[in-house]
Amino acid sequence: MLLLVGLQAVVFNHVHFFGYATPMPYVYLLLILPSTTPRWAFLLTGFFLGLTCDLFTNTPGMAAAATTALAFVLPPMLRLFVPRDFDEDAMLLPSVSTMEWWPFMRYALFAVLLHHALFFILESFTFFRPLSLLLDTLGSTLLTLLLIAIFEALGSAKHAKS
């Protein structure tokens, strides 16, 4: 957890493609929590993950609010993206290896889009620049999804070797 948050503070916060897109891969830590995690643990993990990012990235409360809100909706959101005929006992950890690529990436897309929309709405604190808000949200979502896909590809390759 600290490694990804540290990378967020040191590397990813300084990456701004076209002045809009900044990857926020720390959200991945919430996405891969076991499906059996109690709801209160999701909320606490989301809050402390966001608070840690806020402390290191100088975003007072924005990451904490966005990750806590995401943690609140993540367990029911996961159930939406798991195939109906899927054995829930087989999927303890949401990942490409348990859900396949397309369902996991749809799950990640909606979760990251929600997180980033909340984060950038809180950051701008206005709706008077909707194009800038849209570009920030969509660009950052695409970059974050690219990093999540890379993490999953590395994880599934490591899992396949063992």
User: For residue 159, what pLDDT is reported?
Assistant: 60
Other beta carbons within 10 Å of 132: 14
> Which residues make Cβ contacts (< 8 Å) with residue 148, sequence separation at least 6?
25, 27, 28, 31, 105, 108, 112
pLDDT digit string, tens, across residues 122-146: 988 877 788 889 999 999 999 999 9
pTM beyond 0.75: yes
User: What residues does 17 pair with on adjacent strands?
Assistant: 21
- CB of 56 within 8 A of CB of 6? yes
pLDDT digit string, tens, across residues 18-60: 777 889 999 999 999 998 899 999 999 999 999 998 988 888 8
